Amino acid sequence: MAVPKRILIVDDDPDVHGLLRATLDAPDRHIESAYDGSAGLQLVESTPYDLVLTDLNMPGLDGMTLLERIREVQPETPVVVMTVANTPENIVRAIRERAFSYFSKPFTVNAVTEMVERALSGSGAEDDIQVLSARPQWLGLRLRCKIETASRIVQFIRELGMDLTPAEQEQVTTAFREILLNAIEHGAGSDPGKRVTITYVRTKRAALYYVRDPGKGFSFEQLTHAAVSNPADSPVEHVEVREMLGMRPGGFGIMMTRELVDELIYNEQGNEVLLIKYLDRDWH
């Protein structure tokens, strides 16, 4: 019989414990609770956990310090951060301290459940995410070309869009996710030995998302299997091409992404792309 996965919830709000316990409870899981950071640290120091979910703002030892201490005593333990104190500084610090994921409150139960599943079933390596720059206005990362790693970074990027409207936040996140998955699947051939570089830059007037993959690139003339290359008088021509090539249905990624951000710019080689979302509606 498999050993149950041990999950620790650290939060000073009993309602959060109740919600997470009801959501995450399963026969193959053992869930424990701590109501402040110091108590949480004592448990982690004495017992190995498969996952820790922690709030940031707690009496005594705060969640970010708890994350740092967990990295010292149980460095392989995935830690998911949850907070109402959602700031770019907290998000970037969580990435630097190798948090598995980050959610602002109130969070959706489905999103947290999916991330918990990834944390418990994943085989993440310490260097899956390499930090090149960890400033709130300039975040630079190198990622292993793994779908799990992409999902983690997409959640951090979603949180960084906090000053967008909810609809805009979801649009930018969807666009970034599509470009990142293209870079991993097509540019790197889903080879975890290769890496994708991403950069997030926040200016007063715009948010910029840059992705560079290790592939040889492409030209739009070669993308006969993608909707972006369809002639104006044949909007679904690529569907027949994909069928002939034995490819899965789809091919709308780049075309869809163009509609979700204000600008989408590729380099000449086709292995670097810049997404721009203007924050000053009157500027562009």
For 137-169, write each residue's pLDDT tens digit: 999 999 999 999 999 999 999 999 988 888 999
Q: Which fold has domain 127-284?
A: Heat Shock Protein 90 (3.30.565)
Give the tokens for residue 45: 């120091």
Peptide bond into 106 cis (omega under 30): yes
Q: Distance (Å, rounded) from C-alpha 180 to C-alpha 182?
A: 5
| pLDDT tens digits along 2-55 | 789 999 999 999 999 999 999 999 999 999 999 999 999 999 999 999 999 999
**Where does the chain show beta strands of DSSP type E?**
5-10, 29-34, 51-55, 79-83, 101-104, 129-135, 138-144, 195-202, 206-212, 263-266, 272-278
Domains 1-122 and 127-284 share a fold: no
**Does 218 have pLDDT greater than 70?**
no
**Domain locations along the chain:** 1-122, 127-284
Distances (CA, A) of 161 to 39, 100, 153, 191, 283: 33, 19, 13, 29, 19
Residue in this structure with the two tokens 């991330």, named with its chain if needed = 115
Give the tokens for residue 235: 């909007």
Q: In the beta sheet, which residues pair with residue 178?
A: none
CATH 3.50.50.60 corresponds to the domain 1-122? no
